[in-house]
Amino acid sequence: MPKFFDKPQSASLAFMVAGAFWFVVGALYGMVSAIHLVSPEFFSNIPWLVFGRERPVHVNTMLYGFAGTMLIGSGLYYIPALLRTKLWSERLAWVSFFLWNITIASGPLCFAFGFTQGREYSEYVWSADIILILSVLLLVYNTAMTIASRTEEQLYVSVWYFMAAFLWTAGNYPLGNVIWHPATGAMPGLIDSLFLWFWGHNLPGLLITPLATGAAYFVIPRAAKMPLNSHTLSLLGFWLLIALYSHIGGHHVLQSPIPNWLKAVSIVDSVAMVVPVSIVVLNLWLTARRQGKAVWGDPAARLVMAGIAWYIVTCIQGPLQSLPYLQRVTHFNNWTIGHAHIAMLGFGGYIALGAMYHVLPLVTGRSLYSQKLVSLQFGLITFGLTGFFIVLTMAGLIQGNAWNNGETVYRVLPELAPYYISRAALGISILTGASVGFYNVVMTVLAGRELSIAELQQGEEAA
């Protein structure tokens, strides 16, 4: 057994398989949420399936469990590959794996029975917070030591993003989760909303975004068989991300009496995020120019490029909805839910899946069990997510315009019924896509065709 934990890239594989599993679990809980909105009495007298308990399981499992876990797994492969060395400690990576997944598992186990800190995106109980922070610190140390022992002189931008994601999280997570107040995990009064949304927005922006961007910078040049268009632009995008993103959580609480200067900074930086996003998108698209057949013909790279497309939509919509005038209509309704889905499943999720399918054969030494199943999963998720975005945006505009014109909440609810029914139906497509993907991953590990030494060497040399 000890030799198993020393096997090169074994922790990378464990993270990716776990990510595929958590995708199914998170999508299943999402399906339950959608059913609740159509038929609130469907799960009556089942306390652990009350909407207020199972929705946090869905949200946290999809963010940390699916996207985060899968992106960490792919990163644990490409970091040593880009540095032309071995991961400093495979066993330490396994410790990180167990700690990280204990935290995620605490969601279904704790939230379902009322053990939660009750703050959106910060629901994990205090002990789980500590375990997650330990996992992150171990990933920081392991990555830093791998960088220190490298044989490659240049630090490619994917290395920057992967390392920074955990450095930022190690600092941001304890602050946003008010780790020094174990009893509540919260600050008293209005000030808690600032701490809450400091992490609530940095979770997607300074954990998932750098992990996804780093993975995209790894996959696209390899799929296109072209060098990155501009290393300088990639680093400019990196520094602008940290310069702008950490301040924008305040745009979630513009209607509250927080300081006006903080509101102004949040709005300005939200709009300014168009710059680093444009840099990333243009840099990757210019890398893949005239290589469309190779990139879009590769099932893994197709997922990554589609994730970049969702990134564009997300980062056009995000700055717009941070403007106070527009937020009168878009805030606190289904518009925001639609935005969250395309950000995390569209951008983070697609790139996580694409990176995983790209790296999986290199880690297992086996070809993908079925590229057709990858394409099927892509189609199912794209159909479901596109429908989600349209349906939730329409429902949000109905809600927002009605409320903005003085209508009461309960009188608007009957108008939303068709949209909630559509959302539940579309959720079946996403849940099916998650299940197809998990099956494909497991079968790749168990029954994929073994790659020849020449094929493995070719893949490793391309890295």
Q: What is the pLDDT of residues 31-87, one digit of tens each?
A: 999 999 999 889 888 989 999 999 999 999 999 999 999 999 999 999 999 999 999
CB neighbours of 167 closer than 8 A, spacing ≥ 6? Answer: 140
User: 461 or 208, which is more confident?
Assistant: 208
Tokens of 95: 């410790």
One-character DSSP codes across 17-82: HHHHHHHHHHHHHHHHHHHHHH-TTTTTT-GGG-HHHHHHHHHHIIIIIIIIHHHHHHHHHHHHHH
For residue 186, the enclosing domain spans 2-462
Number of domains in the chain: 1
CB 157 within 8 A of CB 234: yes
Q: Is 322 helix (H, G, I), strand (E, B) or coil?
A: coil
* CATH number of the structural domain spanning residue 77: 1.20.210.10
Q: What are the φ/ψ torsions at residue 450 (nearest 5 degrees)?
A: -70, 130
CB neighbours of 353 closer than 8 A, spacing ≥ 6? Answer: 70, 303, 377, 381, 437
CB 112 within 8 A of CB 55: no
pLDDT band, residue 404 (cuts 50/70/90):
very high
d(CA 192, CA 234) in angstroms, rounded, equals 35
Percent residues over pLDDT 70 in the chain: 97
Lowest mean pLDDT among 9-18, 104-113, 182-191, 231-240: 182-191
Lowest mean pLDDT among 214-223, 323-332, 370-379, 385-394: 323-332
pLDDT band, residue 127 (cuts 50/70/90):
very high
pLDDT exceeds 60 at position 142: yes
Which alpha helices (H) appear in 177-208, and where do they start and end? Answer: 191-203
pLDDT exceeds 70 at position 454: no
This model's pTM is above 0.85: yes
d(CA 250, CA 267) in angstroms, rounded, equals 8
CB 150 within 8 A of CB 169: no
Predicted confidence at residue 2, as pLDDT, reads 64
d(CA 207, CA 212) in angstroms, rounded, equals 9
pLDDT band, residue 461 (cuts 50/70/90):
low
| Amino acid at position 217, single letter | Y
Indicate the burial class of 99 (C-beta count within 10 angstroms; 0-12, 13-18, 19 or more): buried
Predicted confidence at residue 213, as pLDDT, reads 98
If you average pLDDT over every residue of the chain, what do you get? 94
**DSSP state for residue 345 in the 8-state scheme:** I
CB neighbours of 453 closer than 8 A, spacing ≥ 6? Answer: none
